[in-house]
């Protein structure tokens, strides 16, 4: 559980704040101070070893929020800042963890709740990227998990496009789980980051989709590139658990897709969002024919409860399409 390849070398010093957005500069200062404050001994290092040998008994958790929560629109550099915090925190990699919200819930599924608590309680910092609550079960699970970790002295940091007090809004009966949501909010100091999408700030328009022939030729000319028909790819994603989407990209230098068209339903759209995130994390360029990425999701989807996920996916896929442009030039050459 470490930052993905795209964010392996980022640091606070490599973050370029927008001069018109003072909240970005302020966020860097707050997070640098937060990292410096984690330099002391881990809170759970005090006290005697537990009777079952699972580690030391936790000291009493400090009063007030034990975490920072980076809230803002897509493309303002929240993941960059979260990864920079992970790198800046003075601890061995095994004593600090970084993962997406989906990866965290998958970890609980793989290890079980109690073993996950034991595993993460010895950490100094847990960074959770793309924090979101899509169903009531996740709300109760994560609320309980983070409560236990805070009690053990683990510091938390998270990113999201939604304020912690409004998680789950528009997706399920959030009012019925208000206590859990408010409990999550109490663990964090919210830090708002304003600004435009840095992935497209000052850059030319993304390239229009190419022809099927161009994409196919580029795929065969690019070592370790994949080539798939978009509808068939969506069908395949339905048969693979989203926790394995990262593994699908192992060894893939570029993703080439023909016949890109609007996704047919919400479940398919959410699976595609996860794939887009994993491709972006691993810096895999995406070359396509068919419709442009801004027409992947219907108006109903872009106006619904998952709209921020879809806009993030469009932004990231557009950046990867720009990265893929040299593949066409190499074929022409």
Q: Tell me the CATH number at 160.
A: 3.40.50.300
Residue 330 is predicted with a pLDDT of 65
Which residue's structure tokens are 């973050």?
15
Residue 169 sits in the same domain as residue 317: no
Residue 43 is predicted with a pLDDT of 40
Domain containing 61 equals 5-198
Cα–Cα distance measured from residue 193 to residue 76, given in angstroms and rounded to the nearest whole number: 7
Residue 216 sits in the same domain as residue 276: yes
Which residue's structure tokens are 């997406």?
100
Residue 251 sits in the same domain as residue 325: yes
Which residue's structure tokens are 């998680």?
167
Cα–Cα distance measured from residue 47 to residue 225, given in angstroms and rounded to the nearest whole number: 53
Residue 229 sits in the same domain as residue 259: yes
Cα–Cα distance measured from residue 315 to residue 330, given in angstroms and rounded to the nearest whole number: 25
- Mean pLDDT per 10-residue interval, the chain, length 333 residues: 85 88 90 81 37 36 65 81 90 82 84 91 89 69 85 87 49 45 68 71 66 95 95 95 87 95 93 92 93 90 83 89 86 58
**What is the pTM assigned to this prediction?**
0.66
Residue 332 is predicted with a pLDDT of 60
Cα–Cα distance measured from residue 124 to residue 114, given in angstroms and rounded to the nearest whole number: 18
Residue 292 sits in the same domain as residue 245: yes
Residue 264 is predicted with a pLDDT of 93
Residue 192 sits in the same domain as residue 273: no
What is the DSSP code (8-state) at residue 26? H
> Which two three-digit tokens encode residue 87?
């790198």
* Final residue belonging to a domain, choices 169, 198, 227: 198
C-alpha dist (Å) from residue 273 to 189, 234, 235, 239, 307: 27, 11, 14, 16, 11
* Final residue belonging to a domain, choices 165, 198, 231: 198
Residue 213 sits in the same domain as residue 171: no
Residue 199 is predicted with a pLDDT of 54
Hey, is 234 helix, strand or coil?
helix
Residue 205 is predicted with a pLDDT of 61
Residue 60 sits in the same domain as residue 193: yes
Residue 91 sits in the same domain as residue 194: yes
Residue 40 is predicted with a pLDDT of 45
Contact 101, 131 (CB under 8 A): yes
Q: List helix spans (H) across the chain.
A: 22-37, 78-88, 101-111, 113-121, 136-151, 178-186, 212-221, 230-237, 245-248, 266-281, 299-302, 307-332
Query: DSSP letter string over 100-159?
Result: EHHHHHHHHHHH-HHHHHHHHHT-SEEEEES----SHHHHHHHHHHHHHHHHTT-EEEEE
Residue 134 makes CB contacts below 8 A (sequence gap 6+) with 168, 171, 172, 270, 306
Contact 294, 318 (CB under 8 A): yes
Q: How many CA atoms lie within 13 A of 300 on its CB side?
A: 6
Residue 175 is predicted with a pLDDT of 46
Contact 84, 206 (CB under 8 A): no
Rounded to 5 degrees, φ, ψ at 24 are -70, -45
Residue 22 sits in the same domain as residue 143: yes
Which residue's structure tokens are 């709209």?
307
Residue 61 is predicted with a pLDDT of 41
Residue 98 sits in the same domain as residue 230: no
Residue 302 sits in the same domain as residue 164: no
| pLDDT tens digits along 227-263 | 999 999 999 999 998 888 888 999 999 999 999 999 9
Domain tally, the chain: 2
* Final residue belonging to a domain, choices 172, 198, 224: 198
Hey, is 328 helix, strand or coil?
helix
Residue 68 is predicted with a pLDDT of 86
């Amino acid at each position: 559980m470490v930052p993905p390849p795209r964010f392996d070398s980022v640091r606070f010093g490599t973050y370029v704040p927008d001069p018109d957005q003072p909240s970005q500069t302020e966020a860097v200062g707050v997070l640098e101070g937060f990292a410096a404050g984690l330099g002391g001994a881990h809170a759970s290092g005090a006290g005697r070893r537990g009777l079952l040998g699972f580690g030391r008994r936790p000291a009493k958790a400090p009063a007030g929020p034990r975490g920072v929560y980076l809230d803002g629109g897509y493309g303002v550099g929240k993941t960059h800042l979260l990864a920079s915090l992970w790198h800046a925190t003075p601890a061995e990699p095994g004593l600090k963890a970084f993962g997406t919200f989906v990866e965290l819930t998958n970890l609980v599924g793989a290890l079980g709740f109690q073993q996950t608590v034991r595993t993460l309680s010895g950490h100094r910092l847990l960074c959770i990227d793309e924090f979101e609550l899509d169903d009531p079960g996740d709300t109760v699970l994560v609320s309980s998990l983070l409560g236990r970790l805070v009690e053990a002295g683990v510091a938390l940091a998270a990113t999201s496009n939604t304020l912690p007090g409004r998680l789950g809004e528009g997706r399920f009966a959030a009012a019925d789980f208000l206590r859990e949501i408010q409990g999550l909010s109490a663990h964090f100091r919210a830090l708002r980051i304003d600004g435009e999408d840095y992935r497209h700030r000052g850059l030319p328009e993304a390239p229009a989709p190419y022809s099927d022939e161009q994409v196919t030729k580029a795929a065969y000319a690019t070592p370790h590139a994949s080539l798939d028909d978009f509808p068939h790819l969506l069908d395949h994603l339905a048969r693979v658990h989203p926790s394995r989407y990262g593994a699908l990209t192992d060894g893939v230098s570029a993703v080439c897709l023909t016949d890109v068209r609007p996704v047919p339903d919400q479940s398919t759209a959410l699976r595609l969002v996860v794939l887009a995130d994993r491709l972006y994390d691993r810096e895999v360029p995406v070359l396509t024919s068919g419709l442009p990425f801004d027409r992947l999701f219907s108006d109903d989807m872009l106006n619904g409860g998952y709209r921020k996920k879809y806009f993030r996916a469009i932004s990231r896929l557009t950046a990867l399409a720009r990265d893929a442009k040299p593949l066409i030039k190499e074929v022409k050459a």
